[in-house]
């Protein structure tokens, strides 16, 4: 039971006397003899509008005793008398329709069922127009069910019988269930009208006086209010609800928009049942939700209190009309703020459905008030309620003092729970935890459910790592799949290399590959064997180790060549890795083979055991024969390690026959020089010339080798032997004779071709002359392109080819050239341009030599192209000798002069 004496009193209503606008500001005068009042649909009966325009009509001949105005329909129900005696009539009026200037009366019927004479004490009508209840002074209740506006569609029955007068009736609708509350002077009962038997429940054994009951609005669950002299009771259809100790003799009870209005006798006036003309009444307005008195004032002889147009209207017996107008919400809140009644202000704002911005401002002011008072715990609770509306920095600045770190932590936690924290807030909260050394709270924060994570995980990891909470940081990184941070902490802070390697092995392929490239060298240095095993998996058939059951196939393994730098200081592991790769994947990148070749050559070069050295030699050669190594790199490696077999194999593979022969020349392997000429002389004729020059420069007797290389060209033989004092003409006599015969045959063949070309040239010149001087007759009947009969339009060329015009446009590159003759014509034109270029070579050489900064490079370029090759005549040596030597020299000179050679 709530004692109203403890409730605070406020003046949330403004009292003013209603003025009559037509009487120059004088007080509005009510009609004389008001016996019944009601309000609704914008009128106060007698039909008083908001602009105070008063209208009336005659409803009964004698008097009106009860009125009931529906809120959702413009229907008025009245009870009154048309003739003397106890015979009350019920009339239903449709205020939207008129009959001779008055509202249309749609139904009239006697209130008393039968001939039982009794007075009507109260009246209630359901808003759906299907129920009407009439209470009588003899304790009976008559229920009209059906359309109350028509006789034909409704029926009347006696619902309740008793000995105590009926003092209050109210309908309650909850979904499809309809209840009727019945109050008497002694009891409170409830009927369920949606059930055929109309079951009744007795709610209480005390009742109320006439006009001292009301029904709350749906926001208060439509409870039935009964006001006794000591208490006010609220009832549900099946039980009694809360009770409020509001003492005083109740004269009137009313409910409107969350307020309970009670009219009582003035306690200071002598209490008697007979109301004197000067008796004072106290009108009190209660806010039951927020537990305060919104207004209380004394009035003289109140007839009734009505609620309309958002205000209360008080009718007094002296014909004066007062209006109680509610103050706006902001004004009421300011009144509460001045008295520091923030809790009440918050409750009031909620009941008035103030928006979140308005509530947040109240919470802020309340928090500021508590902060100034030193109640920091209470203040932080209010500031937490402002999250989302108030800038967090406003609160954070207040509690940055180290003594308020607990309050700051609570606020930051709430900020994260609502997912409104930024990176700075996360940093600050974690610093609070670490400063407080509150490991339990820290773990609770970072180990919250993933659906409850409301912070920047990466920022949290950074802060925890900086504060030395490495295990917490690792947990957070692993849980939220921040792989880079997990590995960085494990390797750089915890030095847990094996665990880092295990973690990489559980990652998806792309992430495992990138992390091995980043951290591979560190891992190889500390855990080489495990790292090598993981790299083998990564470059062949990788699957995350943690999910062995779900083995998704990979489109490609990692590129093994990219991981070679990881093994920079681990040759043994590198060798094992590379050999594994070429064994599993013969099509491994060339860099794998090149690196493995270098390792094998290093082992071969340092090996002293002949047997093992032979095995390593074969292993290196097998790599060279695999055709997977890069030629240039492999050749450099073999030369660096003086691997003779590999060098010769690569020379032969690259068709570098001159290098093979030079290699043998450098090692003075005469037999292998001749063997190289025999093997490769057909592919490169100059080998014989170079071999002959090599043997000719040797002062020791190399006649046996010279005889073997005499398959070279005649000029080269003579020119080379001229530098050897021990060689004679008899050595090459037979060879020269055979060579001259072949040259003679070649000359005859060339002369035959010259005659043929001259004849063809003469024929072409004659044909050209004919085309210039004579008419050309085209007799082609078929297209030279599609071989179909020619049709107009057609195109004819002087070469004798004819084409359809559409064929020519489709296949010819130029309409001015015959597409059939174009390829041959281009060859001829190319030859002519080449001749012109050679003709201009002399001038071009001098011009280029003059303009170049490096003349030597220009000359070297022309030497390389063979431009300066010329015939060298061998003359008599100084101090010429007689005899055979002179004869041979003369023969050589004549031979060189009379022999033709293409330069």
Which element (helix H / strand E) includes 207? none
* Shared domain check, 790 and 735: no
| Cα separation, 665 vs 662, whole angstroms | 5
pLDDT at 673 over 50: yes
The helix/strand/coil state of 32 is: coil
Highest mean pLDDT out of 60-69, 346-355, 872-881, 890-899: 60-69
Cβ neighbours of residue 144 closer than 8 Å, sequence gap 6 or more = 131, 132, 133, 134, 154, 155, 156
| Residues composing the chain | 903
User: Would you say residue 737 has pLDDT above 70?
Assistant: yes
Q: Parallel, antiparallel, or unpaired for β 224-227 and 321-326?
A: unpaired
Backbone CA torsion sign across 441, 447, 450, 455: positive
* Average pLDDT rounded to a whole number, residues 178-203: 92
Q: Indicate the range of 441-455, 480-494, 662-676 predicted with least confidence.
A: 441-455
Beta bridge partners, 281, equal 265, 299
In this structure, are 732 and 787 located in the same domain? Answer: no
Q: Which residue has the higher pLDDT, 268 or 345?
A: 345
Q: Give a yes or no: residue 18 inside a domain.
A: yes
User: How would you list the strands of the sheet with 89-99, edge to edge?
Assistant: 63-69, 75-81, 89-99, 102-110
Give the C-alpha separation, 186 to 165, whole Å: 9
In a domain, 822, yes or no: yes
Contacts of 787 (CB under 8 A, 6+ apart): none
- Total domains, the chain: 3
Residue 554 lies in a domain: no
Question: Does residue 788 share a domain with residue 734?
Answer: no
Helices 571-584 and 590-606, axial angle in degrees (round to 10): 130
User: Can you say whether the dihedral through the CA atoms of 427, 432, 438, 441 is positive or negative?
Assistant: negative
Lowest-pLDDT range of 107-111, 453-457, 531-535? 453-457
Confidence class for position 275, pLDDT limits 50, 70, 90: very low
819, part of any domain:
yes
Give pLDDT tens digits for 112-168: 876 678 899 999 999 999 999 999 999 999 999 999 888 887 888 889 888 899 999
**Which of 708, 739, 770 marks a domain boundary?**
739
What integer pLDDT is reported at residue 725 of this predicted model? 55
**pLDDT recorded at residue 776:** 75
Across the range 519-544, mean pLDDT stands at 87
More confident residue, 723 or 254: 254
Question: Mean of the per-residue pLDDT values for the chain?
Answer: 79
Compute the distance between CA of residue 739 and CA of residue 742 in angstroms, rounded to an integer.
5
Q: Give the long-range contacts of residues 352-357, CB within 8 A, separation 24 or more.
A: 354/329, 356/388, 356/389, 357/389
Average pLDDT over residues 797-826: 79
637: confidence class by pLDDT, cuts 50, 70, 90: confident
> DSSP readout, 125-152?
E-TTSSEEEEEETTS-EEEEEE-TT-ST
Q: Tens digit of pLDDT for each residue in 6-22?
A: 788 888 898 888 877 77
pLDDT, residue 636, reads 84
Q: Give the model's pLDDT for residue 234.
A: 94
pTM of the model: 0.52
Half-sphere exposure for 315 (CA within 13 Å, toward CB) = 22
Q: Is the pLDDT of residue 853 over 70?
A: no
pLDDT tens digits, 561-615: 888 888 888 888 888 888 888 888 887 887 888 888 888 888 888 888 888 888 8
Exposed/middle/buried for residue 131 (C-beta within 10 Å: 0-12, 13-18, 19+): buried
**What value does the CA radius of gyration of the chain take, rounded to a whole number of Å?**
61
Residue 605 CA, chain-centre distance (Å), reads: 59
DSSP three-state, residue 272: coil
Instruction: Give me the residue label for tokens 């190889």.
Output: 524
DSSP state of 490: I
Beta bridge partners of 104: 94
pLDDT of 24 strictly over 90: no
Residue in the block written with tokens 């003739």:
83
Rounded CA-CA distance 252/284 in Å is: 11
How far is Cα 242 from Cα 246, in angstroms, rounded to an integer? 13
Task: Please give the Cα distance from 789 to 804 (Å, whole number).
Answer: 9
Q: Is 732 inside a domain boundary?
A: yes
CB neighbourhood size of 569 (10 A) = 11
Q: Is residue 804 part of a domain?
A: yes
Is 384 a member of any domain? no
Whether the ω angle into residue 438 lies within 30 degrees of 0, i.e. cis, is: no
Reference 307, options 351, 260, 352; nearest CA is: 260
Q: Specify whether the CB–CB gap between 324 and 314 falls below 8 A.
A: yes
CB contact set of 834 (below 8 Å; sequence gap of 6+): none
Would you say 227 and 262 are in contact if contact means Cβ atoms under 8 Å apart? Answer: yes
More confident call, 502 vs 660: 502
Last residue of a domain, one of 829, 845, 860: 829
Contact 180, 166 (CB under 8 A): no
Above 70 in pLDDT, residue 892? no
Of 739, 755, 775, the domain-final residue: 739
Give the structural domain span for 735: 658-739
Give pLDDT, residue 321.
85
CATH assignment of the domain containing 19: 2.40.10.480
pLDDT for 882 equals 40
Separation in Å, CA 717 to CA 151, 183, 721, 892: 147, 146, 6, 11
Residue 201 has a pLDDT of: 93
β-strand 292-300 against 8-9: which pairing, if any? parallel
More confident site: 732 or 432: 432
719 occurs within a structural domain: yes
**Helix ranges, 437-495 (H):** 439-446, 457-466, 470-479, 483-488
822-839 helix and 841-851 helix, angle to the nearest 10 degrees: 60
Helix axes 714-721, 884-898, angle to 10 degrees: 150
Q: Which residue has the tokens 């409830």?
A: 190
pLDDT value at 716 more than 80: no
Residue 753 exposed, middle or buried by CB count within 10 Å (0-12, 13-18, 19+): exposed
- In the prediction, which pLDDT does 888 show? 42
The pLDDT, as a whole number, for residue 467 is 79
Between residues 90 and 421, the one the model is more confident about: 90
Pair of tokens at residue 769: 């002359």
**Number of C-alpha atoms within 13 angstroms, CB side, residue 616?**
20
Contact 261, 253 (CB under 8 A): yes
> Of 224, 297, 287, which Cα lies nearest the Cα of 259?
287
CB-hemisphere CA count at 13 Å for 601?
24
Residue appearing with tokens 């095993």: 533
Place of tokens 């003086």: 642
Say which residues have a Cβ less than 8 Å from residue 566's Cβ, sequence separation at least 6. 516, 517, 520, 521, 524, 531, 535
pLDDT at 772 over 90: no
């Amino acid at each position: 039971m709530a004692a109203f004496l403890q409730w605070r009193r406020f003046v949330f209503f403004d009292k003013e006397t209603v003025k009559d606008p037509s009487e120059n500001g004088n007080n509005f005068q009510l009609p004389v003899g008001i016996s019944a009042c009601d309000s609704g649909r914008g009128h106060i009966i007698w039909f008083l509008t908001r602009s105070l325009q008063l209208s009336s009509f005659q409803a009964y001949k004698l008097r009106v005793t009860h009125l009931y105005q529906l809120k959702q329909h413009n229907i008025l129900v009245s009870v009154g008398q048309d003739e003397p005696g106890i015979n009350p009539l019920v009339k239903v009026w449709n205020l939207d329709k008129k009959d001779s200037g008055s509202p249309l009366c749609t139904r009239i019927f006697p209130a008393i069922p039968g001939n039982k004479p009794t007075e009507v004490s109260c009246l209630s009508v359901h808003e759906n127009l299907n129920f009407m209840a009439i209470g009588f002074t003899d304790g009976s209740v008559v229920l009209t069910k059906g359309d109350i506006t028509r006789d034909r569609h409704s029926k009347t029955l006696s619902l309740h019988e008793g000995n105590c007068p009926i003092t209050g009736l109210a309908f309650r609708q909850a979904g499809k269930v309809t209840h009727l509350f019945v109050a008497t002077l002694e009891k409170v009962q409830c009927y369920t009208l949606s059930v055929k038997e109309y079951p009744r429940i007795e709610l209480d054994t005390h009742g109320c006086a006439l006009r001292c009951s009301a029904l709350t609005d749906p926001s208060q669950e439509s409870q039935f209010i009964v006001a006794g002299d000591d208490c006010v009771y609220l009832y549900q259809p099946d039980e009694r609800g809360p009770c409020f100790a509001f003492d005083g003799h109740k004269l009137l009870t009313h409910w409107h928009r969350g307020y309970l209005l009670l009219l009582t006798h003035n306690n200071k006036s002598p209490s008697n049942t007979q109301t004197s003309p000067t008796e004072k009444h106290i009108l009190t307005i209660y806010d039951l939700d927020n537990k305060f008195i919104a207004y209380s004032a004394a009035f003289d002889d109140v007839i009734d209190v009505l609620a309309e147009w958002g205000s209360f209207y008080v009718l007094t017996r002296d014909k004066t009309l007062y209006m109680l107008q509610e103050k706006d919400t902001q004004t009421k809140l300011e009144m509460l703020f001045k008295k520091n009644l923030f809790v009440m202000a918050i409750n009031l704002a909620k009941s008035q459905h103030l928006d979140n911005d308005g509530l947040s401002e109240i919470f802020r002011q309340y928090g500021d008030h508590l902060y100034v008072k030193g109640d920091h715990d209470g203040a932080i609770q209010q500031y937490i309620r402002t999250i989302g509306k108030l800038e967090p920095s406003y609160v954070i600045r207040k509690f940055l003092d180290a003594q308020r770190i607990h309050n700051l932590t609570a606020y930051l936690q709430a900020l994260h729970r609502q997912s409104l924290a930024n990176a700075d807030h996360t940093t600050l909260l974690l610093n609070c935890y670490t400063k407080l050394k509150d490991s339990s709270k820290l773990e609770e924060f970072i180990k919250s459910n993933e659906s409850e994570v409301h912070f920047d995980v990466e920022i949290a990891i950074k802060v925890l790592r900086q504060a030395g909470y490495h295990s917490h940081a690792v947990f957070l990184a692993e849980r939220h799949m921040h792989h880079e941070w997990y590995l960085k902490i494990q390797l750089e802070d915890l030095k847990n290399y094996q665990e880092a390697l295990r973690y990489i092995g559980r990652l998806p392929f792309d992430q495992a590959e990138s992390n091995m490239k980043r951290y591979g060298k560190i891992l190889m240095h500390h855990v080489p064997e495990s790292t090598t095993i993981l790299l083998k998996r990564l470059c062949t058939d990788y699957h995350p180790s943690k999910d062995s059951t779900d083995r998704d196939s990979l489109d490609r393994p990692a590129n093994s060549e990219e991981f070679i730098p990881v093994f920079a200081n681990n040759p043994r592991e590198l060798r094992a890795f590379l050999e594994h790769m070429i064994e599993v994947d013969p099509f491994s990148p060339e860099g794998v083979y090149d690196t493995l070749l270098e390792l094998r050559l290093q082992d071969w070069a340092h090996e002293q055991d002949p047997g093992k050295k032979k095995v390593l030699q074969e292993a290196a050669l097998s790599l060279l024969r695999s055709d997977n190594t890069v030629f240039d790199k492999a050749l450099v490696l073999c030369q660096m390690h003086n691997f003779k077999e590999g060098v010769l194999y690569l020379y032969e593979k690259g068709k570098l026959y001159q290098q093979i022969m030079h290699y043998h020349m450098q090692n003075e392997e005469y037999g292998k020089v001749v063997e190289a000429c025999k093997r490769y002389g057909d592919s490169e004729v100059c080998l014989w010339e170079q071999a002959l020059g090599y043997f000719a420069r040797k002062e020791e007797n190399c006649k046996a080798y010279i005889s073997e290389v005499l398959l070279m060209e005649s000029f080269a033989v003579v020119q080379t032997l001229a530098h050897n004092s021990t060689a004679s003409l008899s050595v090459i006599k037979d060879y020269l004779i055979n060579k001259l015969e072949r040259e003679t045959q070649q000359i005859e063949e060339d002369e035959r071709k010259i005659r043929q070309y001259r004849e063809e040239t003469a024929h072409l010149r004659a044909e050209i002359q004919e085309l210039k001087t004579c008419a050309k007759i085209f007799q082609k009947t078929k297209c030279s392109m599609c071989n179909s009969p020619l049709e107009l339009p057609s195109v004819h060329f002087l070469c004798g080819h004819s084409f359809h015009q559409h064929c020519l446009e489709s296949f010819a590159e130029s309409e001015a050239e015959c597409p059939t003759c174009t390829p041959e014509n281009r060859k001829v034109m190319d030859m002519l341009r080449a001749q012109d270029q050679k003709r201009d070579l002399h001038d071009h050489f001098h011009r280029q030599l003059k303009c170049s900064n490096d003349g030597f490079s220009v000359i070297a370029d022309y030497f390389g192209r063979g431009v300066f090759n010329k015939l060298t005549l061998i003359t008599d040596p100084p101090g010429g000798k007689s005899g055979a030597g002179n004869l041979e020299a003369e023969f050589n000179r004549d031979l060189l002069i009379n022999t033709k050679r293409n330069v």
